[in-house]
Structure formats: C-alpha cells, structure tokens
Structure 1
Amino acid sequence: MAGRPSTERATLADVARHAGVSTGTASKALNGRRDIADDTRARVLEAVAELGYRPTTTQWEPPRTRTIAAVFDVLDSPYISNVLQGVLAAATNAQANLLVRLPPDRAARATKAAARAWVAAQKESGVVGIVGITLGEPNAMLQAAKEVGMPFVMIDPVDLEDPRTVSVGSANWAGGRTATEHVLELGHRRVGWIGGPAASAAARERLHGYRAALDSAGISLDQSLVRSDTFSIDTGLVHGRDLLALPDPPTAIVTGDDEIAVGVLAAARELHVAVPEQLSVVGFDDTPQATWTTPQLTSVHQPLAGMGRMAVETVLTMADGVQPASRHVQLATSLTVRDSTAPYPARTSGR
C-alpha cells in the first residue's frame, strides 16, 4: 500500500488498515494492552512508523516496558535456579524487564531505614513490583514496599509476620503427608523426619503433613526421630548420622528438601547402610538433583518454575492496580517414585 501524501495527517483508521487490523485492535496495541498478540502489535507499530502517525490527543504514549525485581539470599541452590527459570519465562512472556537483586545484609534489612533505602533504590530503577524467593527477615522490606505502593509477592515465605502478604507456594502439607504415606504403605513404621527451619512456613507445613500421616496410620510420634535445621546437604549429613546411629534407627527417613535427602544418602554410605535395601529416603522439590544421585531419589514434586511464573503474573497484575483473588496461592504437589525407596527390610544383625 502506498503511503499517504505528506500534507495529509494519518489517522488511527489509516494505521489499522495498513496493519490489517480493526481500529479497536490498533488502539489497544498502541496503548500497551496485554491481550494483543506480539506479531499484531509489531504490525501496528510498523504501520505507525511508515505512516508517520501522531495521535490527536496528548494522552497516548508508546507502550512502556515494565520492570520487576527478583530478590533472594543465595543462588547456589537447585530450588532457587528452578524457581528463577519460571520467573524469567513469565517476565519474557509479559515483555517485562527482570532485575535480579540481592537484599541488604540480614542484620541491616530488619531496620526500617535500610529497608526503605533498598525499596527506594528499586523504585528509582523503574521497578514496578518485587518477587521475593524464600527471603529471610523480609518484614521491614515488605512494610517499606507497602508504604510506597510497591507490589511485593513472596515465594515460600520465611519469618513472615503479616498474614496479609501475598504469597505463592505449593501444597506443602499435602506433600509431606504423601511422602510419609508412601513409606508407610511400603511397611515402614520407624520413620524419621529431617526438615527445614521452624521459621519457614513451608518447612512447618511439611512437618505437619508428616505428623498427620503417622497419626492417620495409628503410629505415635517419636520425637527422637524428628529433626529441624537448615535446608542444606550438611543438615542431612549431620542429622542422618545421628538418626542412623540410634539403638533403634529408622528404616525410612522423609526429608524437607532434596538437598537434605542428598546429605542423608551420604550419611548412609558413610555408615554402610544400603539404600533402599536397609533404608528408604524421600526428598522434597524434585529438582534435577534428584536424578543425579545413586540411587535416584524418590521426591515430592512441586512445580518450582510454575511458582515463579505465578508470582510474576501476580505481581504484574497488582502493578496494574488489581488485587489477586487469593493472597495465598498453593500449587499442587505429586510424588515421583524412583529407586531410593523400597519395602520395609527384615532387620539384619548389621543394623
């Protein structure tokens, strides 16, 4: 189609015809509406450039790319990496910029001044919303964000004081119960638990699921078989050694995450306890790490990338001024059974 004469001002209708869309679609594309396909928006913007279209009202501006920040304490975790994969995918799909941030030092972030300064720095960078991934000591930062109207969505919150904070997680209680029921169905009755810190809502819910499964099976909780610590390989190694050295050790250990489970496998090897012949081990998260172990790890699958995607979609919706239908979103878990669990073993003299 030939361009219009330079003396005649292009109209929105001209842009729509040139792009092969309706006038309404052209208007939505120019106003940055998210319900317009990328190729359609590209055709409309190309038509604007070719025709030299200028709106007759000063209210229109070219669509702006929004920016969000993802903040977490450490990156050296398969859990964080998988959640970030979902955060990045959702940000890319929404044509939003993603900034990856470290929070202030733990001691400083709990102070109002440091939290306000950090949030102000994000706002000055053009950030419209923040996603916190298992972020410790977040309360002052959450309050500072609230004061300036900055949406803040937490994934698997830790140390959270305000129950109104918007959060995304998985069905942790159901996952803990399913994992424990799995080894109970295999005939195990001495079932240990090594979980994450009590300050973690996810860790508490998984522990409660474990206890609920025991209670449902008519098994009294043996507190000597229950340990809580950090989500780390060292936690599994240290507490795994302790549990396996008991006079009457567990024949199955359910753990709060895959890293703890890897530590338990290491403790079992160190003490010459065969997995799964003498000990069954269950992880939680079902990260790629679960298939790298020998034997491969039975683990509760939680949709880590899906949690990241949901958090981004939620924070962008809040940035548009729309509050989510639920402040606490939980995605379903399932059990992936591999080689680290087997039926209850006959007690041998070596145990």
Structure 2
Amino acid sequence: MPRPRSATSPGRPTMATIAREAGVSVPTVSKVLNGWSEVAPQTRLRVEQLLDERGYVRRRGDRSGASHSLVEVVIDSLDNSWAAALLAGVEAACHDRNLGVAVTVARDSGRPGGDWVDKIIARGSRGVIGALVQLGAVQRRKLERAAIPCVMVDPVATPEDTVYSVGATNWAGGRTAAEHLIELGHRRIGVLAGPEDLLCNRARVAGYRAAMDRADLEVPDGYVRYGADFSTYTGRDLTAEFLDLDQPPTALFIGADTLALGAYRTIGERRLTIPADLSIVGFDDRPESHWVSPRLTTVRQPVEEMAVAALDLLAQLIRGRQPRSRRVELATILLERESTGVPRPDRNR
C-alpha cells in the first residue's frame, strides 16, 4: 500500500503549488482547508480536486468545518503585569470568536527559537500575534509560505512596510507626561526608560524631549537614562543614580510603572518624600500603580484594547481580507493621581 505523501516534504505538494495550479492565492487555499465559507463553490471544488489529486496531506489544523482553531501568541516574557494584561485581552477576544490560544515565550533575547515556526505549523495555528519580539527573516518567510498571517504588538523596531502592527501613541504619551510636570512648575525633569533597543521606549523619550524643547528647557547630561529591562530593581538603581547627581531632578518621567515602583523604594530609603522632594509620572497604568502610596500618576496605555485590535487585524488576514491600515495606534491618556505636585522653590532653581 503506497504511503501518503507529506505536504511539507521537499518536492511534494504545498499550499503554494496547489494555489498556483488552481490559479488562486495561497490564502484562498488556506480558506478551503479550514472550511471558511467565503470561497466561491466552483473555486472550492477546483481546489479540493487538486488537493486530492496531488495527495496533499492536511495538517492537524486544516479542519474543514471545524469550529475551533488556534491563535499563537509569542511574547518576550510572562513575569510582568503587561504580559498578563495582553494575554487576558487576547484570550477574551479569542473566546468571543471560538478560538483557542497557544503561548510561546521567546526566552532568547526576544527571539523565538529556530524551530518555532515548524512547531506552530504542526499545531495547526491559524495566525500569530507577536508581542515585544523580533522574528527572523527565515521565520517570516516560513509563515508566509504556510499562509499563517502575523500581527505584531509593540514591535521591537520600526515595522517594515509589509508588517501589520498595533501599538500605543508612545510619543504622545511621553510628551504629555513631560508637559504635565512642566505645567506644575518643574524645570529639572529627568526621564528613566526601559531598554533603548525597543521602539516604544525611544518614542516615549522622544516625546519627552519634544516637550522640553517646546518649553525651552535644558536636558542636562545624565538626565536621560535607559535601563536594561523593566524591573523594579532597575528602577531602584537608576533612580539612585539620578539622586546622586550634583543637581538632581525635581521630577522624573519613568517609562514603565514597574520601574516607578523601584523608584519609590529608593526614595523611601533616602528618607525623601513623593511628591514634595521628587514628583513621579509612570507609564502603563498597571494594577500596582493604584496600591502604592502616594498613588502613581501615570500614562495609561490600553494594553487589553491593543490585544483586541491585534486579533481584529489577524482575523481579517486569516479570512483573506486586506485591512485598511497596516499600523494601528491606540491613544494614551494621562491619569493624574498623588505622585506629582509643585516643586519646592529651594530645589527648582
């Protein structure tokens, strides 16, 4: 009895070869394999006949008429509330669409392992949402060949023209944070950001600089500091460096709430008070920002809504539709609480 031919073996039928012979696109073949109704009956019949004639072996995820499919989320880390909020948003949106969720953690400097794409193809995942990760060129090509669309949330670098992505208005958020401190009367304002190689952090710092330039305020050497990560330990250590300057700032814009929690620790150890000695604005509006004392003034980025927007884009791509825009940015908003106030006159000269 002859052995069935594999759809992924060299020289044997792939979705691309089926699409070429049928005179349709790869996404159309994918729709037929997955039972979508948006394919003309004659086209569906032609594709199905070619699949049978060429001996195409369907993946476990190629389930015509199936009501449940997988969306793959690949994320840089799970040990923070930003990741928890993103996954909660994805899971809720997938639940509404009767989709399952599989999660991969990219432990190697934000890059998923070399065999990651092969694993999600074997799992039958319908699409990918990448969060704060960077996919290699080979991985992107494999996804394209397998007709598995991908949407990035907070892409690490400026997205290429062909990449679909979702993010927050990070530049505007950084500008708003700095403007709030300037309006309170602060003149010596520092910025403490997460890793410099991340696009979102550079955008927040650029927004801060724009506000300082507009107010004709100097940004002295040492007033812009990037951390190696978003941890409270990094926030603690970098805040100590600010306070050790000959002329320390009277206010800090801190580009992540987790970093701001570390700043609280250092300020308390120095027997200083917030906001009398140092005003602080965070970024994210994570749950922890409500529980510190004083409550943290912060810039909210709508992480859960970003997850839903990413899934909306992905659902359109899975169905073979062309979204109106490749880039979606959701608005940030400043939430004024008790960690900011007017500077002490003797420290603001």
Fold match, TM over 0.5?
yes
Which one is further off, 209-218 or 145-154? Answer: 145-154
* Equivalence map 1:1-351=2 (5 Å): 62-103=65-106, 105-106=108-109, 109=112, 114-115=113-114, 117-136=115-134, 140-159=138-157, 162-229=160-227, 230-347=229-346
Per-residue CA deviation, residues 231-266 of structure 1 (Å, 9 max, x unaligned), is 221221111001011121100000111011111111
Q: CA deviation at 1:104?
A: 6.3
Aligned CA distance change for structure 1 residues 189 and 122 (closer, same or farther; 3 Å)? same
- Secondary structure, counterpart of 2:222 in structure 1: helix
* Partner Cα distance (2:326, 2:224) in 1: 31
When normalised by structure 2's length, the TM-score is 0.77
Matching residue of 2:19: none
Matching residue's letter, 1:209: G
Matching residue's letter, 2:154: D
Unaligned runs of 5+ in 2: 1-34, 39-62
Q: CA deviation at 1:143?
A: 3.9
- Secondary structure, counterpart of 1:347 in structure 2: helix
Q: CA deviation at 1:64?
A: 3.2
Aligned CA distance change for structure 1 residues 124 and 137 (closer, same or farther; 3 Å)? closer
Matching residue's letter, 2:90: V
* Partner Cα distance (2:107, 2:241) in 1: 36
* Partner Cα distance (2:239, 2:100) in 1: 43
Matching residue's letter, 1:120: D
- Secondary structure, counterpart of 2:299 in structure 1: strand
Unaligned runs of 5+ in 1: 1-30, 35-59
* Partner Cα distance (2:234, 2:199) in 1: 18
Which one is further off, 77-86 or 140-149? Answer: 140-149
Q: CA deviation at 1:164?
A: 2.9
Per-residue CA deviation, residues 298-323 of structure 1 (Å, 9 max, x unaligned), is 00011110001111111121111112
Residues 150 and 319, structure 1, Cα contact 8 Å, conserved in 2? yes
Q: Report the identity percentage.
A: 35
Q: CA deviation at 1:347?
A: 2.2
Matching residue's letter, 1:94: R
Q: CA deviation at 1:33?
A: 6.5
Q: What is the root-mean-square deviation in Å for CA atoms of aligned residues?
A: 2.4
Q: Which runs of 4 or more aligned residues in structure 1 lie more than 6 Å from their structure 2 counterparts after TM superposition?
A: 31-34
Matching residue's letter, 1:215: D
* Partner Cα distance (2:107, 2:252) in 1: 36
Matching residue's letter, 1:179: A
* Partner Cα distance (1:33, 1:296) in 2: 51
Q: CA deviation at 1:182?
A: 0.4
* Partner Cα distance (1:306, 1:33) in 2: 28
Q: CA deviation at 1:61?
A: 5.4
Per-residue CA deviation, residues 73-126 of structure 1 (Å, 9 max, x unaligned), is 2111011111111111110111111112223644984xxxx53x3112101111
Aligned CA distance change for structure 1 residues 161 and 153 (closer, same or farther; 3 Å)? closer
